[in-house]
Structure 1
Amino acid sequence: MDTTAVRQRTARPGRRGFLIGAGGLTLLGAAGCGGAGSTDSGGGGKARTIKHKYGSTEVPGTPTRVVTVGLTEQDYVLALGVAPVGVREWFGEHPGALWPWAREALGDDPLPEVLPVEELNFEQIASLETDLILGVNSGLTKKEYETLSEIAPTIAQAPGHADFGAPWQDIAAIVGTALNVRKKADTLVRDIEKLFDDARAEHPEFGGATALLASSITGEAWAYAEGPAPGFLTQLGFDLPEKAEKLFTGKDRAPVQVSTERLDALEADVLLVGVYGPENESITSKPVFKELDASKEGRVLTMPEMSEVNGALSFGSLLSLPVALDAMLPRIAALADGDPDTKADKADKAA
């Protein structure tokens, strides 16, 4: 699949708690306003009113000094042509808290200042003289939102979704509206959705098969029904396994810790496991995991924390989704090909 055109459009001259909470939240939904109350107003900079979890915020003009306090908004800001001045670290510890696809989009602009993931430093944010603060893909408390709003117009979590739970299309719409480039955001969303359409057409065998995202965080197993990474699998045509579906009983289908005794709930035609922490302590190294049919038949792909594929899938953004598709599609096809004798070998070669 050729994702070059999409990349050209975006080109420009408690850590553990964050990993659990944002390891992949919210299915890829239909592109929509996601609470944004306006579209492009051209070059005039007409004020836009954007709804969010804690009310609504008016954004005047065209912001240029943007700080992102969510986990992935830096990718959206860069894709839409703005270099952020402050970015919150999630994981990876790359310079400027930018993974390779975002660093490429930054071009020759200076690296943004890095904000710590564990706790917001309001003095640091204020010192950046920002004219817009974005926390769409975040878990901001109301108190944090109110404090940030005293510094600059602040957009909190998208309404109608769990914290860290807005679909990537909605994040794109909100960020695009806030930056006064909504039409560009909509175009990029359509481009990426076309890539998924092409992938499904290329791999009709994904339809009706099951796939699941799990993670091993300091040796504990977690499963995900909602989010960019699970949504990545859904938009490729996969279904969530029935046994895994029963794990998610909350209304927001939040991530669920899976006990060793219930690891069979991870059974799927394709099982992706992000590994955070030492690999020899991962759930994938445990005998009970190795007894899963998915493990014995080579239908598991482990993704080390710092691997680009894990980062791209986890970010699930305008910039990282084309990267994830390029890297993941041949591997997923190898896992799902229905041949237990070749799945593991094919996945290794694809990697």
Structure 2
Amino acid sequence: MPRSSRALRLAAVPASALLLLATAACGGPDPGTGDSGPEAGTTGDAGAFPVTIAHKYGSTTIKSEPERIVTVGLTDQDAVLALGEVPVGTTEWLGGYKGAIGPWAQDELGGAKAPTVLKDTGTGPQVERIAALKPDLILALYGGLTKEQYASLSAFAPVVAQPKEHNDYGVPWQEQTRTVGRALGKAEEAAKAVESVEAKIAATADEHPGFKGTTAVMATPYEGIFVFGSQDPRSRVLTGLGFAMPDGLDSAIGDKFGAGISKERTDLLDQGAVVWIVGDVAKDAQKLHGDASYKDLKVVKEGREVFVDETSDFGHATSFVSVLSLPYVVERLAPQLAAAVDGSPSTKVEQPTS
């Protein structure tokens, strides 16, 4: 996977060449089985297991409380940490943090040993390294596992893949957290964690009534202009705060988390606010403002742009969109959005100071 959030997951390719270790494996595909496991449980509660969780490739049954968790999903570690567990292995996406644990999640890690960091370089999960960690649960919710990769990993541990109801890399953070809660036997704790963060987001939205119904979009200057669709977690940060997605956004993007747009479709950017995720705020803003197809839009002339430095902790957290990163993001993003939509072009949208 590209480390840059501008590169996103665009260079990821299916690892069809992966050797299938086995197909009849623990937690393997069972397309005919529904999501019929218990809805609640806590660690040590015998009633929480076995639990069956449906996903894109069928369903997976977790027979007992997992003790060695590996996260293949790029942000799944935050949900695990939020529920009081520490993975033995995590998959690095961005930030280069020790254990792939961002600063917004350090309190939950506490004094525990940092997980072993795995990498997804575009050819899929490191199957042999994951197997060496002897996992008894592999989480791949925020990801894009292929069926072959799923089968390979399922050869040695139950795997919870991405949900079939959403695009790859499109699982909502709430569903991600609740699903991890069920897999760990901590459904009640997960529900409370989701409710707590949703309450914080709702309170922020109430503090900024100007957000409600205002159209907004997230984009990045990757190989031209790349716009995130409504199913991308970054876009859901905006809708959670009360913003609305532009009409025609998803029809222009298709069934993906986002896509590059032509210069003829920069109208998708001319909204109540546009949030740019950029590698260098000053340079990228200057380049965008020199683009004839963009510079004359009202969103530019009326100062309704927000720039997020993707190389900062704030930028990393903005792309992470997890139960732990969201409070960190909203605290910093909301003041920027408020300045952008206040109706005064002279209001400067400041960068967060921490």
Question: TM-score normalized by structure 1?
Answer: 0.84
Q: Distance in 2 between matches of 1:334 and 1:279?
A: 18
The question of 1:307 aligning with 2:312 is answered yes
Q: Distance in 2 between matches of 1:49 and 1:90?
A: 28
Q: CA deviation at 1:37?
A: 3.0
Q: CA deviation at 1:21?
A: 5.5
CA separation of 1:20 and 1:36: change in aligned 2, threshold 3 A: farther
Which secondary structure state, in structure 2, belongs to the residue aligned with residue 348 of structure 1?
coil
The equivalent residue for 2:213 is 208
Question: TM-score normalized by structure 2?
Answer: 0.84
Aligned ranges 1:268-287 → 2 under 5 Å:
268-276=271-279, 280=283, 284=288, 286-287=290-291
Which secondary structure state, in structure 2, belongs to the residue aligned with residue 163 of structure 1?
coil
The equivalent residue for 2:16 is none
1:287 maps to a residue whose letter is: D
The equivalent residue for 2:45 is 44
Q: CA deviation at 1:286?
A: 3.6
Instruction: Answer whether contact 2:224 2:260 (CA < 8 A) is retained.
Output: no
Q: As a proportion of its length, which structure holds more helix? A: 1
The equivalent residue for 1:59 is 62
Q: Distance in 2 between matches of 1:35 and 1:80?
A: 21
The equivalent residue for 1:110 is 113
Q: Deviations over 1:97-136 (max 9, x none)?
A: 1211123321111111111122321110011111110001
Structure with more contact order per residue of length (Cα contacts < 8 Å, sep ≥ 6)? 1
Instruction: Answer whether contact 1:219 1:277 (CA < 8 A) is retained.
Output: no
Q: Distance in 1 between matches of 2:239 and 2:55?
A: 26
Q: 1:317 aligns with which of 322, 334, 339?
A: 322
Comparing 80-89 and 255-264, the one that deviates more: 255-264
Aligned ranges 1:18-167 → 2 under 5 Å:
19-20=8-9, 35=35, 37-42=37-42, 43-45=44-46, 46-118=49-121, 119-167=124-172
2:41 maps to a residue whose letter is: S
Q: Distance in 2 between matches of 1:89 and 1:276?
A: 19
Q: CA deviation at 1:185?
A: 0.2
Comparing 257-266 and 105-114, the one that deviates more: 257-266
1:193 maps to a residue whose letter is: E
CA separation of 1:257 and 1:35: change in aligned 2, threshold 3 A: farther
CA separation of 1:74 and 1:39: change in aligned 2, threshold 3 A: same
Q: CA deviation at 1:253?
A: 5.2
Q: CA deviation at 1:170?
A: 0.7
Q: CA deviation at 1:304?
A: 2.0
Instruction: Answer whether contact 1:219 1:281 (CA < 8 A) is retained.
Output: no
The equivalent residue for 1:265 is 268
The equivalent residue for 1:348 is 350
Which secondary structure state, in structure 2, belongs to the residue aligned with residue 233 of structure 1?
helix
Instruction: Answer whether contact 2:278 2:284 (CA < 8 A) is retained.
Output: no
Instruction: Answer whether contact 1:35 1:158 (CA < 8 A) is retained.
Output: no
1:39 maps to a residue whose letter is: E
Q: What RMSD over aligned residues (CA atoms) do the two structures have, in Å?
A: 2.4
Instruction: Answer whether contact 1:218 1:277 (CA < 8 A) is retained.
Output: no
Aligned length: 322
Q: Distance in 2 between matches of 1:253 and 1:325?
A: 25
Q: Deviations over 1:313-340 (max 9, x none)?
A: 2111110011111111111111111112
Q: 2:197 aligns with which of 171, 176, 192?
A: 192
| Unaligned residue ranges in structure 2 (runs of 5+) | 12-33
Q: Distance in 2 between matches of 1:335 and 1:350?
A: 14
Instruction: Answer whether contact 1:53 1:159 (CA < 8 A) is retained.
Output: yes
Q: Deviations over 1:272-310 (max 9, x none)?
A: 011248974676354333332212222111112222222
Q: Distance in 1 between matches of 2:195 and 2:107?
A: 22
Q: CA deviation at 1:159?
A: 2.5
Aligned ranges 1:230-245 → 2 under 5 Å:
230-242=235-247, 244=249
Q: Distance in 2 between matches of 1:218 and 1:116?
A: 24
Q: Distance in 2 between matches of 1:349 and 1:193?
A: 24
Q: Distance in 2 between matches of 1:257 and 1:74?
A: 29
Q: CA deviation at 1:261?
A: 3.6
The equivalent residue for 1:11 is none
